[in-house]
Each structure stands twice: as structure tokens, then as C-alpha cells.
Structure 1
Amino acid sequence: MTTDTMLTTGGSHGGDDRDAAFGAGGDEPYAQALATDGHIRLRDPDRPGHDVTFDVGRWNAPADEVDLSLLEVVDGPLIDIGCGPGRMLVAAGRFGIPALGVDVSPAAVSIAQHAGGRAIQGSVFDPVPDEGHWDTALVIDGNIGIGGDPAALLERCRAIVRPGGRIIVETNADPDADRTYDARVVDADGRTSSEFPWAEVGQRALRRDARVAGLRESQRWTVAGRSFCELRRP
């Protein structure tokens, strides 16, 4: 499989703003947190006091037991949507699984590549290498929120995996979560990103979005406080 393609990061959707990057722009708090293993908060300007906190240090750390469990049943090439600093790519390599990560953050992609993962910078809403031939797509760590349109993201994933392929989605811990909004990332020092579209999706909403995308749910589970759903392309 080829993995040396550079994707574009915007402008391919006639003004569509789904390509706006998580935590980018402004004071670049996400890039700062990647460099320092810091914490960041996802802020909805319309809901003060309801920030969602992410531990970037966990994303920088090696894959944990829950992460590794997602790879145990993968038996073909894997693509990680919103791969971040690449812990799942490195872990997949140890399992002998061909893997590629896609992320809009140049800082995250650089870290993933230096860690030994194969990653490209760009938007999942643009063509990806070997589209339609991936066995499994990972959409974890809240990345179902990318673009603020979960059904559209799942439609892209459906096109990216092979017929019969799997999409493993990590959903919000609240099964009733179902929100889209314009978010900003803020770090512990108050550095703030530009605004970008985002979504929070629980398992009930994911079932609806999967149907819209032409996917069928094959299983769902919760482990160590994290909730997952496996979707299949017909």
C-alpha cells in the first residue's frame, strides 16, 4: 500500500468548513500541549462551565490495554482517522498490522512519524491513499466529532474501507450525547485556538448516524469507562 501521499487540508468542499483543524489557529494550544504532554479543554461558547478535558499526555503515551484490545481482531490494513501523535500506529506495527494515520495537525503527524508510525497530514474529507481497500478504520478519542457532522464522517469512512470492512468508533460516555457546535480548544495557560466545528455523539445517536451513512452496527461495548461501537460496510 502506498502511504507517501500528502493530502490537502482545506478548500476542497466549496467553502465547507469541516476541514477546520482541531485546536489549530489562534495561540495553537493543541500543538503546545503535544509538546508538553499537557491538558486541553474543549469549549463550547454557548455552554460556559461545560468544558470537556482531554489529557494529551495519554495520546502521546504508548497504547494502553484498552487501545491494544481494539487491534486484537484486526486482520488487515488499518487506517486511523485523526491519528494524533500516533500511538495506535506504533501499536499496530508491533502487531504486524499495516497501518496509516491521517490527521490535519502537522505537529501531531510529525510526532507520529518520528515515533515510527506512517502518517500523512490532511483531511479525511479529501481522498486518502488506497481508498476503498482498508480493512478497518479507527475513529477513537472523540474523533467522531471531526467536522461537526458525524453522518458525513461515517459516509467518508464507508467509502474508505473495503466492502465488509469495519469502522470502530469510540462514542461519548453519555449514551444520549447528541450535540454539534462550534468549539475552541483552550489550554491550562489560557491559550485559545480558532473556532472549528465539532460534535459529541453517544451510542444512541451513533446508531442513527450509521443508518444514514449506510452502515450496520455489529456490536457495541464499554470497557474501563470507554464506549465503542463496531460498524460494518455492507
Structure 2
Amino acid sequence: MSAPPAVAWAGADPYAAALRAGRGPLFLRRADGWLLPLEVERWCARADRIDRTVLDRCEGAVLDIGCGPGRLVAELAARGATVLGVDVSAAAVDHTVGLGGQALRRSVFEPLPGEGRWDTALLMDGNVGIGGDPAALLRRVAQLLRPGGVLIAETAPADIDERVRVQVVDLSDGPAGNGGCFPWARLGTPALLRCARGWRRAGQWTAGGRSFLALRTLSHSNSAEPPKSTAVISSQRVRKPSAARPVADR
């Protein structure tokens, strides 16, 4: 699958600045001026009680898609799990690596280590909106997981299905605190289930005002190849991005 156009989120200076500072305020803004607050402080803190209950449901090797500053990667690594975070933001990858986690600066739509072998994928903190096309994102995640693998996604608490263009804004800096526009989506659990063709529901729950959905890929493979072994990332050299080559390779 080809990678989408450059993601404006990755180059949004207010987002990078907020991650480095560990605080907001930061928002996603639609063209009509509507604002969605981004929970930068929570993302930059340690995994909380609700996060940990979600991570308790993870199986085997875990791929955290849109890992942000890496609290979930760090928590899973501390548990001894095989885990890799991927994010398009250099600041997010740097923060994750600084916590002792493994992370790559890469889009989920680009080639990734262990394709077809991950046991669990995470789409937390609104990351079901990545790319603005949830059905395409779910198809991509299915390619990354092993047959029978599980996706745990955090959904919007309301029954919403919204596809929009947004930008990251820091209102305290005026126009200078705005990033470029990019496609995004917001989905509640019913809307995500409507997109989940080829998946079966494995769990649905709410905790602390947050909503989650677990989906499992079909246990059979459409390929004639034998099942692949579990994803292994320990042999991969993960390093911080450089100007010449922003991502590590296998």
C-alpha cells in the first residue's frame, strides 16, 4: 500500500513544541472554527490506571500505531513485552526513545517491521482518525497483524462519524501557532464497527469516560503461505531520525 501525502501533523510546530514541553494547550481545529482539545499532559505522563487495563488485554508482540510521546510503549516495555511504537512526529519518536522504548518515525502506511506477524495493534488517543479514512486504516492494520491478531482501538465516547480536515493550533501563539491542514476522522464505536469488514468484535467497554473496541482479524489466512512466526524487533536497530535518513531500516 502506498504511503499517503506528507502528514501535516508531523511538521506541526505547535505539536512538537507541546510534546517537548509536556503540556498544552493544544487543539485540533476544523475549518468552521470548532476546537477539539488535545490531552498533551496525559499523553506525556506515565500510563494511567485506564491505560493499564487496556494494556492488560494485549497479546504477544504489540505495535502501537501513532505512539505519540510513548507512555504505552514504555509501560509495555517495562512489563517485558515485545513492543514497537510508530509515529510520523520526530518529537514523539524522540520522547519515546528517551523513555527507553523502541520507536520508528514512519507512517503506518509505509513498510514496517514484522508485517503480518504482530499479535496486537493499538490505535489509542483518537488514532482511528489517522489519514481520515478509517476503512483504509483498518485494511492496513489487518495487513500488519497475524491471522487472528487483535486490534484495540479507542473510540469517541459519542456516536459520531466525522471525516474532516483539521489543523493543530496553539491559540496562545496566534497564527504562528498553527500547523498545516490534514485529513482526520472521529468515530464512535458504532461507526467503527460499520467500517470493520473482515473483522469480528472481540470486546467493547468504557472506563473513566473513555470508550474502547477490540476487533480480531479472521483466524484463517487468504494466502497460500504457511503462518509466519511472531514479530521480532530485537534485531532491528532503532535510532533517532537524522536529516539524511529519518527512519531506521531493518
Q: Would you call these one fold, judging by a TM-score over 0.5?
A: yes
Residues 157, 210 of structure 2: 8 Å contact kept: yes
Q: 2:28 is matched with which residue?
A: 42
Long gaps (5+) in structure 1: 1-10
Are 1:202 and 2:188 an aligned pair?
yes
Where do 1:96-115 residues align within 5 Å?
Answer: 96-115=80-99
Instruction: Write the distance in 2 (CA, Å) between the matches of 1:188 and 1:34.
Output: 16
Where do 1:40-119 residues align within 5 Å?
Answer: 40-45=26-31, 47-48=32-33, 50-119=34-103
Query: Aligned-pair distance for 1:95?
Result: 1.5
Q: 2:222 is matched with which residue?
A: none
Q: 1:30 is matched with which residue?
A: 15
Q: 2:162 is matched with which residue?
A: 179
Residues 64, 73 of structure 2: 8 Å contact kept: yes
Instruction: Write the distance in 1 (CA, Å) between the matches of 2:186 and 2:25.
Output: 19
Residues 44, 182 of structure 1: 8 Å contact kept: yes
Are 1:144 and 2:128 an aligned pair?
yes
Instruction: Write the distance in 2 (CA, Å) between the matches of 1:35 and 1:42.
Output: 18
Residues 160 and 123 of structure 1, relative CA distance in 2, 3 Å threshold: same
RMSD of aligned alpha carbons = 1.4
Query: Aligned-pair distance for 1:39?
Result: 2.2
Largest Rg, 1 or 2: 2
- Corresponding residue to 2:117 among 128, 133, 138: 133
Give TM-score, length-normalised by structure 2.
Answer: 0.82
Helix, strand or coil: the match of 1:123? coil
CA offsets per residue over residues 129-183 of structure 1, 9 Å max, x none?
Answer: 0011111000000000000001111111111111110000000111x21011111
Helix, strand or coil: the match of 1:22? helix
Query: Aligned-pair distance for 1:24?
Result: 2.5
Residues 81, 143 of structure 1: 8 Å contact kept: yes
Deviating above 6 A after TM superposition, structure 1's stretches of 4 or more consecutive aligned residues are none
Query: Aligned-pair distance for 1:188?
Result: 3.6
Residues 201, 216 of structure 2: 8 Å contact kept: yes
Instruction: Write the distance in 2 (CA, Å) between the matches of 1:130 and 1:221.
Output: 29
Long gaps (5+) in structure 2: 219-250
Query: Aligned-pair distance for 1:197?
Result: 0.6
Instruction: Write the distance in 1 (CA, Å) between the matches of 2:212 and 2:25.
Output: 23
Instruction: Write the distance in 1 (CA, Å) between the matches of 2:181 and 2:11.
Output: 8
Query: Aligned-pair distance for 1:71?
Result: 1.5
Residues 85, 102 of structure 2: 8 Å contact kept: yes
Question: Which amino acid letter does the alignment assign opposite residue 24 of structure 1?
Answer: G
Helix, strand or coil: the match of 2:112? coil
CA offsets per residue over residues 97-117 of structure 1, 9 Å max, x none?
Answer: 110000000011011001101
Number of residue-to-residue matches in the alignment: 214
Give TM-score, length-normalised by structure 1.
Answer: 0.88
